[in-house]
């Protein structure tokens, strides 16, 4: 069973540019969450999507956005990149929303460097 | 508000020593779930264990064991007879009964020296 796949794995951008990251969840999983991991802030929740709808959002500026497609694949976009956006962006999938006690299954992440 | 604290930033042990990673959480919810994840250098977080707030039984899985104490809001993780392959960053996390948002601690970097 394939795990969570994230692309690209590494990318370098310059300030002011935008970036799109992609995540393919485990087959059958309908919930996709995104987390930002930095040395200073640790793992911080960005947003969660289920059935193409954003269900929950963390405390990030509007430059961070995402979407989910009908096949449960998800993308996140960061516009007008800032140096502080350099981080490992982790995608996680799970079968559903509340009432399930399932764990999140994580991808290996997309490491973004902003110069 | 929810919070998870892992006070130990880095730990180094010699192979075969036992090591305990501490985790303290804060929440006012009565139903919640606690998790431990392992993050090797590859970056992917690997699930280790889940506990719900109503089950305070300790659990053992091979060399791994977990001690959940609601009275002290702690969910500690012990590795017995550590091995070099245990070297990784370990995260404790809290999830409420509503939604899939996880609240992660800042992680403990464990180095096992051969």
How do residues B47-91 score in pLDDT, each as one tens digit?
A: 999 888 988 888 888 999 999 999 999 999 999 999 999 999 999
Q: What integer pLDDT is reported at residue A98 of this predicted model?
A: 52
Percent of residues, chain A, with pLDDT higher than 90: 78
Give contacts of B 1-40 with A, CB under 8 A. Answer: 33, 35, 37
Q: What is the mean pLDDT of the segment spanning A38-47?
A: 91
The reply to whether residue B35 touches residue A108, judged by beta carbons under 8 angstroms, is: no
Q: What integer pLDDT is reported at residue B59 of this predicted model?
A: 84
B64 touches chain A (CB under 8 A): no
Q: What integer pLDDT is reported at residue B43 of this predicted model?
A: 85
Taking the C-alpha atoms of residue A84 and residue A20, their distance in angstroms, rounded to an integer, is 16
Q: What is the mean pLDDT of the segment spanning A99-108?
A: 76
The reply to whether residue B101 touches residue A48, judged by beta carbons under 8 angstroms, is: yes
Its sign, for the CA torsion B69, B72, B73, B78, is negative
The reply to whether residue B102 touches residue A90, judged by beta carbons under 8 angstroms, is: no
Residue A101 pLDDT > 70, yes or no? no
Structure tokens at A11: 């990318």
- Please state, rounded to an integer, the average pLDDT across all residues of chain B: 93
- Please state, rounded to an integer, the average pLDDT across all residues of chain A: 92
Q: What integer pLDDT is reported at residue B55 of this predicted model?
A: 84
Q: What is the mean pLDDT of the segment spanning B7-32?
A: 96
Which residues of chain B make contact with A107, given a CB cutoff of 8 A? 44
Q: Which residue has the tokens 């490992």?
A: A88
Nearest Cβ partner of A88 from B43, B91, B104?
Answer: B43
Percent of residues, chain A, with pLDDT higher than 70: 93
Residue spans of beta strands (DSSP E) within A18-84: 19-24, 31-38, 42-50, 53-57, 64-68, 74-78
Taking the C-alpha atoms of residue B100 and residue A80, their distance in angstroms, rounded to an integer, is 28
Q: Which has more confidence, B97 or A64?
A: A64
Nearest CA in chain A to B52: A101
Q: What is the mean pLDDT of the segment spanning A91-112?
A: 81
Which residues of chain B make contact with A48, given a CB cutoff of 8 A? 99-101
Per-residue pLDDT tens over the stretch A45-94: 999 999 999 988 999 999 999 999 999 999 999 999 999 999 999 999 98
How close does chain A come to B20, measured CA to CA in Å? 21
Q: What integer pLDDT is reported at residue A1 of this predicted model?
A: 57
Nearest Cβ partner of A104 from B43, B52, B102?
Answer: B102
How many contacts (CB atoms, under 8 Å) link A and B? 63
Q: What integer pLDDT is reported at residue A100 of this predicted model?
A: 54
The reply to whether residue B99 touches residue A88, judged by beta carbons under 8 angstroms, is: no
pLDDT confidence tier of residue A99, bands split at 50, 70 and 90: very low
């Amino acid at each position: 069973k394939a795990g969570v796949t994230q692309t690209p794995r590494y990318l370098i951008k310059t300030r002011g540019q935008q970036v799109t990251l992609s995540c393919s969840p485990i087959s059958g999983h309908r919930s996709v969450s995104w987390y930002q991991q930095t040395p200073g802030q640790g793992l911080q929740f960005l947003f969660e999507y289920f059935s193409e709808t954003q269900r929950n959002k963390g405390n990030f500026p509007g430059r961070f956005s995402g979407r989910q497609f009908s096949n449960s694949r998800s993308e996140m976009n960061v516009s007008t990149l800032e140096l502080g956006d350099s981080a490992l962006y982790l995608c996680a999938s799970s079968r559903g929303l509340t009432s399930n006690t399932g764990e999140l299954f994580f991808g290996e992440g997309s490491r973004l460097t902003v110069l | 508000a929810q919070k998870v604290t892992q006070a130990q930033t880095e730990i180094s042990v010699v192979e075969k020593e036992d090591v305990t990673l501490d985790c303290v959480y804060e929440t006012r919810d009565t139903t919640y779930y606690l998790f431990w994840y392992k993050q090797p250098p590859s970056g992917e977080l690997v699930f280790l264990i889940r506990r719900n707030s109503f089950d305070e039984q300790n659990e053992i899985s091979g060399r791994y064991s977990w001690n959940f104490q609601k009275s002290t809001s702690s969910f500690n993780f012990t590795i017995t007879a550590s091995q070099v392959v245990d070297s990784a960053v370990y995260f404790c996390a809290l999830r409420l009964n509503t939604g899939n948002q996880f609240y992660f601690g800042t992680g403990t970097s464990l180095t096992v020296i051969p």
